[in-house]
A and B are shown apart, each in its own frame.
Chain A
Amino acid sequence: MKHVKYAFFLGCLIPAREPNYENSVRKIAPELGIELVEMEGANCCAPFSIQSLDYASWLALAARNLCIAEEMGLDILTLCNDCYESLLMTNTILKGDKGTRKKVNEILADVGLKFKGKTDVKIFSDILYEDVGLEKVKTAIKEPFNGLRVAVQPGCHLTKPKRIHFGERMGITALEELVEATGAKSIAYERKEACCGGPLRGVNDEVALYVAKQKLDGMKAAGVDCIVTVCPFCYLELDMSQLEIKRHLKEEYNLPVLHFAELLRMAMGMRLEDWEIRAHRISVTKVLNMKEAR
């Protein structure tokens, strides 16, 4: 079994709001031969909000995390699309642009770090597909879902902007094949690649909700049982928005949102704990029941 070892970049949102996601990842990683090594002192990746304020601050903060991984001699495993975008873009820019790299290293010198371009940034779904391998994941599935209809929410930053993500093979296709490996079915729906609205949550709630509703409408129209996300922002946004829409517009979707790691974990024969079940605002009982009654 190929042993893959990564610098584990948790980001902010998962420890802050979604420890259930972290728990699922930690439970399935050893079963798939993935070793997660903590990144000491790692800071926030500097997502959209920070990038929008100051480019230099973003690059420097993101680069600090890249330097930590470089010193560990490992590639970075991220769970969050936004962290992925921030770190991967920084990595790409600093590897390719000497002038910018010099400026960022000048800032990093203050904290005794230097970006050398020795590490790579990968997201969990791509790692499962490529480094662990789809076949290996399939052998770990002990209790497949029986045709559970899933709306896969890949999230924008999984594959956009195209020029820093390589090829079509990884990204959405990888994610869908992994979902289908669990026995679920990835259902086509309108605007699958559209944004969930997450980045503007707390900034411009009106827009965030409007965008989320478009996604949910598309998913509902396609007749799915649940939603599966990679990004914790998408998870929060699609979960929370359903409650808000129910409250304000009296419209219900009843689409439980599951982290992709949770889906895998259940398919690998592990049970979600009570506190994890309760961590979903839209009840996931429906999905759990579907699994029992096979």
Chain B
Amino acid sequence: MQKEVVVIGGGIAGIQASLDLANRGFKVYLVEKSPSIGGRMAQLDKTFPTMDCSICILAPKMIECAHNPNVQLLTNSEVTEAKGSVGNFKVKILKKPRYVDETKCTGCGICADNCPAEAPNDFDENMGIRKAIYMPFPQAVPRVMIIDKDNCIECGLCEKVCQANAINEEQQPEEIELDVGAIVVATGFDMFNPSVIPQYGYKRFKNVITAMELERLLCASGPTGGHLVRPSDGKIPRSIAFIQCIGSRDRREWINHPYCSSICCKYAVKDAVLIKEHEPNSRVGIFYIDMRAFGRGFQEFVNRAKSELGIAFVRSNPGEISEDQTTRNLVVWFEDPITRTVQGLSFDLVVLCPTLIPRKGVEELAKTLGVELDNYGFFKSADAVKRPLDTTLPGIFACGYCLGPKTGDVPDSITQGSATAARVAEVLASREVS
């Protein structure tokens, strides 16, 4: 039995699993598709219930991953093959080139300052610009630049200004072969694209944004430096609407996400409270079907939002959003649940809370690993009740949102990460073949 583990996915769940396993003496290879670990939590502004800055909680764990002698980070990498069985997996990993030498780069950023080529910033949900050579985000781990060859114009300026001589235009993809005892999947989630529901105007109306885009606007490291301004004119929005259940609890055939995503009510109320506390004179409304305020402190939080902060909770799923072509303000059309009439309320900004779906590429990964997905694309548990963290293949485990919307928020992902680590340790330490 190998005492080494591959963890696929460097989000909070994967990070927690990696640290727990590393501290138990297992050697962990943390494989992350993007150039930095951190995942979705790194993109958030503040987390419920403590309203702590998200990256402030996450970054110490990310740094621990970097420094823990038992954790090896393989970022910008993907698993291409996995053969074998529990205790003896042969895993092939493709490390894609950054064109920057990880051992030399200090992350100083002089190259980016001088780079003339720009591209949309994926981390900022394409709302901001980054250079062709860039640091994925300010707190990235590893703190190494990466060149996006699709947008690089090959001017060579970065190489000229780099004082660490870290640019390596010739860097080749690296194939790494590992012998491990177990694999942990922690690939997390994507946000459903609301363009599929055209009547909400996403992408047609500039001031209709998704919740993740809002997080980036609120976040100090985001494209507006943490100032909540609206996309069309950069003005501060004085009225904001949140619309829940965009695509979730939806049984229409072409959408097919009938489940509830679990955390949207939570983060919407969190964001609404944040905005109202920041701008007490603003008008904030949440349009919902059900306010799913379960667990510790959440219902109390909702009550406070209603009574103390004056946030309007409107029990109505809006039918349509229209735009005023001159002001770019939006009108949310809904049935007022009290008067039973159709109303249109004007807002400066509308935030859509879309359903959370499996990450793109998860089908291929499942095939590579030989594990099953459920019909929504989430990783299937070997037994939904008794062994929720085992996948359908013994020796491969999962944690976090990739298992489906039964997980809730950050504490839940951390819990699952630890639980999966314990499960892996149990299986590898004993002679048990599950």
Candidates A163, A191, A221; contact of B253 at CB < 8 Å: A163
**Interface presence of A190 (CB below 8 A):** yes
Contact of B254 among A163, A221, A222 (CB under 8 A): A163
A163 to B322, alpha carbons, bound, how many Å? 24
Decide if B322 touches A190 in the complex (CB within 8 Å): yes
Distance, CA A188 to CA B205, complexed state (A): 12
Task: Closest A residue to B195 by CB, please name it.
Answer: A168
Interface residues on A, range: under 10
User: Quick one: closest B residue to A163, CB to CB?
Assistant: B253
Report A134-173 CB contacts with B as 1/0, cut-off 8 Å: 0000000000000000000000000000110000000000
- How near does chain A come to B201, taking the closest CB pair, in angstroms? 11
- Does chain A have a CB within 8 A of B325? yes
Q: Which of A90-127 contact B (CB under 8 A)?
A: none
- In the bound complex, residues from chain B placing their C-beta under 8 Å from that of A162 are 252, 254
The CA-CA distance from A188 to B203 in the complex, in Å, is 14
Contacts of A188 in B (CB 8 A): 204
A289 to chain B, nearest CB (A): 28
Q: How many A-B residue pairs have CB under 8 A?
A: 12
A188 to B254, CA, bound (A): 25
User: Which of chain B's residues have a CB closer than 8 A to the CB of A163?
Assistant: 252-254
Smallest distance from the beta carbon of B128 to chain A beta carbons, Å? 26
Chain A minimum-CB-distance residue to B199: A193
Q: Which of B241-256 contact A (CB under 8 A)?
A: 252-254
Across the interface, which residues of B come within 8 angstroms of A222, CB to CB?
325
Measured between beta carbons, the chain A residues less than 8 angstroms from B322 are 190-191
Bound Cα distance from A162 to B204, whole angstroms? 20
Whole-angstrom distance between the Cβ of B207 and the nearest chain A Cβ: 16
In the complex, chain A residues whose CB is within 8 Å of the CB of B198: 193
Task: State in angstroms the CA–CA spacing of A64 and B198 once bound together.
Answer: 36
Q: Which residues of B contact A221 (CB under 8 A)?
A: 325
Contacts of B253 in A (CB 8 A): 163
* Interface flags, B291-306, vs A, CB<8A=1, else 0: 0000000000000000
CA distance A221 to B325 in the complex (A): 9
User: Once bound together, how far apart are the Cα atoms of A188 and B204, in whole Å?
Assistant: 10
Residues of A near B254 (CB, < 8 A) are: 162-163
A164 to chain B minimum Cβ distance, whole angstroms, is 11
CB A55 to nearest CB in B, in angstroms, measures 23
Q: In whole angstroms, how far apart are the Cα atoms of A193 and B323 in the complex?
A: 15
CA distance A181 to B322 in the complex (A): 28
* CB under 8 Å from chain A, chain B span 299-330: 322-323, 325
Could you say which of B252, B323, B325 has the most chain A C-beta atoms within 10 Å of its C-beta?
A: B325
- Closest A residue to B253 by CB, please name it: A163
Chain A contacts for B204, CB-based, 8 A:
188
Which residues of the other chain, A, contact B252 by a CB distance below 8 angstroms? 162-163
Residues of chain A within 8 A of B325, CB atoms compared: 221-222
B353–chain A nearest beta-carbon distance, Å: 23
- Per the bound structure, the CA–CA distance linking A195 and B387 in Å amounts to 52
Interface string of B179-204 (1 = CB under 8 A from A): 00000000000000000001000001
Nearest CB to that of A162 among chain B residues?
B254
Distance of B204 from chain A, by nearest CB (Å): 8
The residue in B252, B253, B254 that gathers the most chain A C-beta atoms within 10 A of its C-beta is: B254
Which residue in chain B gives the minimum CB-CB distance to A194? B320
Q: How far is the CB of A127 from chain B (nearest CB, A)?
A: 23
A217-253 vs B, CB cutoff 8 Å, 1 = contact: the mask equals 0000110000000000000000000000000000000
Q: What's the Cα separation between A162 and B323 when bound, in Å?
A: 24
B322 nearest CB neighbor, chain A only? A190
Smallest CB separation, B214 vs chain A (Å): 25
Give a binary string over A172-215; 1 marks a CB under 8 Å from any B CB, 0 the rest. Answer: 00000000000000001011010000000000000000000000
CB-based nearest B residue for A222: B325
How many angstroms from the CA of A222 to the CA of B204 in the assembled complex? 15
Q: Smallest CB–CB gap between B34 and chain A, Å?
A: 30
Q: How far apart are the CA atoms of A163 and B253 in the complex, in Å?
A: 7
Q: Chain B, 35-63, contact with A by CB distance < 8 Å: what is the 0/1 string?
A: 00000000000000000000000000000
Report the bound CA distance from A188 to B322 in whole Å.
12
Instruction: For the complex, give the distance between the alpha carbons of A193 and B254 in Å.
Output: 18
Contacts of A190 in B (CB 8 A): 322-323
Contacts of B323 in A (CB 8 A): 190
**Nearest A-chain residue to B204, judged by Cβ:** A188
Q: How many Å lie between the Cα of A55 and that of B252 in the bound state?
A: 24
Per-position 1/0 for A51-94, Cβ under 8 A of B: 00000000000000000000000000000000000000000000
Q: List 6 A-B contacts (CB under 8 A).
A: A162-B252, A162-B254, A163-B252, A163-B253, A193-B198, A222-B325
Q: A163-B253, A163-B254, A188-B204 are in contact. List 9 more A-B contacts (CB 8 A).
A: A162-B252, A162-B254, A163-B252, A190-B322, A190-B323, A191-B322, A193-B198, A221-B325, A222-B325
Closest 5 A/B residue pairs (Cβ): A163-B253, A190-B322, A162-B254, A221-B325, A163-B254
